[in-house]
Amino acid sequence: MAKKFKNKTLAWLDYRLPIFSVLREALVDHPTPRNLNYWWNFGSLAGITLVIMIVSGLILSMHYVAHVDLAFDSVEHIMRDVNYGWLIRYIHSVGASMFFLIVYIHIARGLYYGSYKSPREVLWWLGIIIFLLMFATAFLGYTLPWGQMSFWGATVITNLFSAIPLVGDNIVTWLLGGFSIDNPTLNRFYSFHYLLPFIIVGVVFLHIIALHKVGSNNPIGIDLTLKKEKIPFHPYYTIKDFFGFGVFFIIFGIFVFFLPNSLGHPNNYIPADPLVTPEHIVPEWYFLPFYAILRAIPFKLLGVLAMLGSILILFVLPWLDTSKVRSCRFRPIYKQFFWIFIFNFIVLGWVGSKVPEGHYLIISRICTTYYFTHFLIILPILGMFEKTLPVPLNIFKNPRVKKNINK
Amino acid sequence: MIKKIFFIIFSFFFLITSLFAEEKMLLKKQNWSFEGIFGRYDNSTLQRGLQIYQEVCTACHGMKRLRFRELQDLGFTNDQIKQYAKTFEILDGPNELGEMFMRPGEPSDTFVSPYKNKEEAKTTFNGAYPPDLSLLTKTMKNGPDYIYSLLTGYEENLPQDFELTDGLYYNPYHDGKVIAMPPPLYDNVIEYIDGTNASLHQLSFDIVHFLNWAAEPTLQERKSLGLKVLLFLIVLTLLLYVTMKEIWSWIEK
């Protein structure tokens, strides 16, 4: 039972509704490993970005009009006539990119330090669900300004559902609310774009509950048993997170104020025109690695399955990785494969922005094959044969002191 | 060892990237005063640009997102803008008799297209349609340099084996190297009010400056606010860093 509050009113209320003790447990007392490095800042960064996105989105929605004839004009109205509308809108559009950047780093941190391994599988799953919801939200949101890329990007992506055998075309019609992308599509996309962020908030709460149940992983990747190995969340990690926010806001600010359009496609400043197809339809940068996987495969249905599979495979990652050692620090061979995987992923993103022909197609096929090889072949085999370095007993001990985890 | 391998992989990667780089016309890069972190628009350049837009571009292109009142940014007074707006005829209505009528412009009106609709414009130009210029420089990568290059890039001497259809013009900067817009600017196409020598370079430079302002009138406000915000954030972050170091020193070893 949590300690009682000294203030009588607080104690009275908390006895009946324990919000204060829950908050105190989560944000103040929560025992946290004392050896977390800066890569552990990205969880709270993702959280603050989600808040920024919801608040800026709320303000945008007060001025935006979800109608095919007015959507583009209403966005320009926000940019030109609304007081500081340009600021809110750039925060929201750049913020989407920042959110993905942070979440990609957050996921990479998990991969490097083995944060998905027992007992953190459910925590990991909830993270992947958030990632999938973010994809959906970002895609829906990109449609709303009703520029050329909005329209044609939505056309390409909704068209993917037609790959479903037998009922594919019916499903597309049902999703679009008609036989092509039109006003009903825009309206329902807006509706869902408004809904999904709140579902993300819900899953984020579950993510945090799961995190506080099993505790944070740490750079050494061992279970912490000594009391001295943990420190209270406040003030140590609150101040560290605030410092992280500061650094992040500087980078965010550089993009919002000085490079606001550098991350988007200029074509989206042309109003949507169903009669003019852009030369080259590309999604936003954060979708590119998966877009490359989609297009690497010549059959539409298989391509869609591969793209979905490339994310869904993360759900079984805790069992594909057979090594008992969590952190890369003690896995010299996996560490190299980790960096090759990251490099491969970046190449996938690069090739996803190109027209899939000739060399680009070959590269995208090699990289797609490697992506799945990493999970399906390298990880299971490596865990069985890799000779790991000795893992320390606790974070104070010299790492050379042996503790045999791989029994 | 790992670092070396990565160095090799990365250099190989960049080599491939450069080999695949598509052959493209290099844009004629100009020195725009609105670029960079201290970027600002230049009022006299903008005013010359407005003059070009009004005397040349308006014949075919509208700017439906630009309101007359925004010309304040160029250094005009409210009265000047009211007078200026009155020189435009705006279609309004219906009145109480149910009829549309023409009235003099007001500061809240915009630079509308000279054509009734897209279709009328297309018929006039053999199917090509003069786009609205309000957002033009934002619709492409390196917009200002591209438009400058395009405006100064018309060539009369065609390369060998190049067939030009009637009503099209050769311009290597445009997609497919042909464009339906006749060369809009040439030396002394207008006489500048402020007496500046109206060379093709000057005209193109001024109109692009003006178009970029029209596409992004809040640029100056954005950049100056950005400097203040960043300065604040840097100081705040430094203070947070020092505080963090102090707090973390409390932990017993």
Three-class secondary structure of residue B178 per DSSP? strand
Residue to mutate among B8, B211, B222, with most A CBs inside 10 A, is B222
- In this prediction, residues A61-87 reach a mean pLDDT of 97
Ramachandran sector of residue B126 (left: φ over 0; alpha: ψ -120 to 50; beta: rest):
left
- The reported pLDDT for the residue numbered B19 is 55
Which residues in chain A have Cβ-Cβ distances shorter than 8 Å to B21? none
- Of A63, A67, A77, A212, the catalytic one is A212
Tell me what ipTM this predicted complex has.
Answer: 0.91
Residue B12 pLDDT level (bands cut at 50, 70, 90): low
The set of residues, in sequence order, having a beta carbon less than 8 Å from that of A286 and lying 6+ positions away, is: A96, A97, A100, A101, A104, A138
Interchain CB contact of B242 with A (< 8 Å): no
The CATH number of A32-281 is 1.20.810.10
Give B110's strand partners: B67
Task: Give the H/E segment covering residue A407.
Answer: none
Which residues fall within 8 angstroms of residue A109, CB to CB, at 6 or more apart? A39, A40, A42, A115
Instruction: Give catalytic status of residue A240 as yes or no.
Output: yes
Q: pLDDT by residue (tens digit) across B182-216?
A: 999 999 999 999 999 999 999 999 999 999 999 99
Domain boundaries in chain A? 32-281, 285-407
Position B13 scores a pLDDT of: 63
Please compute the mean of the pLDDT values over residues A194-209 and round it to a whole number.
Answer: 98
- A interface with B, Cβ–Cβ below 8 Å: 34, 73, 76, 79-80, 86-87, 90, 231, 235-236, 239-240, 242-243, 246-247, 249-250, 253-254, 256-258, 260-261, 266-267, 269-270, 279, 335-336, 339, 343, 347, 350, 354, 359-360, 363
On the question of pLDDT at A393 being above 90, the answer is no
Q: Do B233 and A87 touch (CB under 8 A)?
A: no
Residue A203 sits at the vertex; the CA angle it makes with A288 and A322, to the nearest 5 degrees, is 70
Q: Confidence class of residue A407 from pLDDT cuts 50, 70 and 90?
A: very low
CB contact under 8 A, A270 and B233: no
**B237/A80 CB distance under 8 A:** no
- Residue A1's pLDDT is what? 46
Structure tokens at B62: 């509208």
CA distances from A217 to A210, A223, A326, A362, B30 (A): 12, 8, 9, 39, 52
User: Where does residue B178 rank: exposed (0-12), middle (13-18), buried (19+ CB within 10 A)?
Assistant: middle
Q: Which helix (H) or strand (E) holds A113?
A: none
Q: In this complex, do A80 and B243 lie within 8 Å of one another by their Cβ atoms?
A: no
Is the CB of residue B222 less than 8 Å away from at least one CB of chain A? yes
Q: How confident is the model at residue A343 (pLDDT cuts 50, 70, 90)?
A: very high
**Closest CA in chain A for residue B239:** A243
d(CA B190, CA B187) in angstroms, rounded, equals 8
**Tens digit of each residue's pLDDT (9 = 90 or more) over B30-47:** 999 999 999 999 999 999
pLDDT tens for each residue of B87-142: 998 989 899 999 999 999 999 999 988 888 888 888 877 778 899 999 999 999 99
Identify the pLDDT of residue A238. 97
What percent of chain B is predicted at pLDDT more than 70?
Answer: 90
A49-53, A86-90, A92-96, B167-171: range with lowest mean pLDDT: B167-171
> What's B39-62+113-244's CATH class?
mainly alpha
